Amino acid sequence: MSQKNKAILLFATIIFIDQVVKLWVKTNMWLGQEHHVFGNWFIIHFTENNGMAYGMEFGGSIGKILLSLFRIAAISAIGWYIFTLIKKGTNTGVILGFTAIMAGAFGNIIDSAFYGLLYGPSDWFQVAQFMPKGGGYAHFLYGKVVDMLYFPIIDTNLPKWFPIMGGEHFLFFQPVFNIADSAITCGVIYMLLFERKFFK
């Protein structure tokens, strides 16, 4: 299989899995609902992200538009760069690493761009409708990113002798994320660990 076809296959696979999981969560769970998959260590927890990672926001509604446009520009630039690397015959691992990062970013921009148009609102004890008669909950580029993967592996109170945070509650890993976020993280970690020669 050519490098181009491998990149396309990886990109399509990540987008497909990401969107199928989000579709199921969005249309079968209400906001804040949880399903314990592996005890208290792996939980499907439905939440929505208004802005950047970890629920941060940037400059209100104008900031959201700017962030979405920046993401689209970044995805386009990465796609062009991958195409250039393929033409140069760059190592397949590098191409697939960049492809995973681009696919993750693209998966989340789908949410921001189209979910507001395609879905009714999610709320506490209310499952969102797909293509509701009255239209979606937001305009183009104002949609919310769906997150659901939650791994609170360590949930404890630190001993009082522990520096700085002694006696306080400690939870790791606290952020809720999605498949697209995982693709970006895995792509970056792979590049840093196994493709350092490329950056030199």
DSSP per-residue codes, 6-48: HHHHHHHHHHHHHHHHHHHHHHH-BTT-EEEEETTTEEEEEEE
Residue 74 β-bridge partners: none
For residue 123, give every residue at least 6 positions away whose Cβ sits within 8 Å of its Cβ, in sequence order, or none.
30, 31
Considering 111, 123, 155, 181, which one is annotated as catalytic? 181
111 is known as an active-site residue: no
Q: Name the DSSP class of 169.
A: E
Q: Which amino acid type is present at position 170?
A: F
- Give which of 186, 48, 41 is closest to 112, Cα–Cα: 48
For residue 6, give every residue at least 6 positions away whose Cβ sits within 8 Å of its Cβ, in sequence order, or none.
92, 95, 96
Considering 18, 111, 123, 147, which one is annotated as catalytic? 147
147 is known as an active-site residue: yes
Active-site residue list: 147, 181
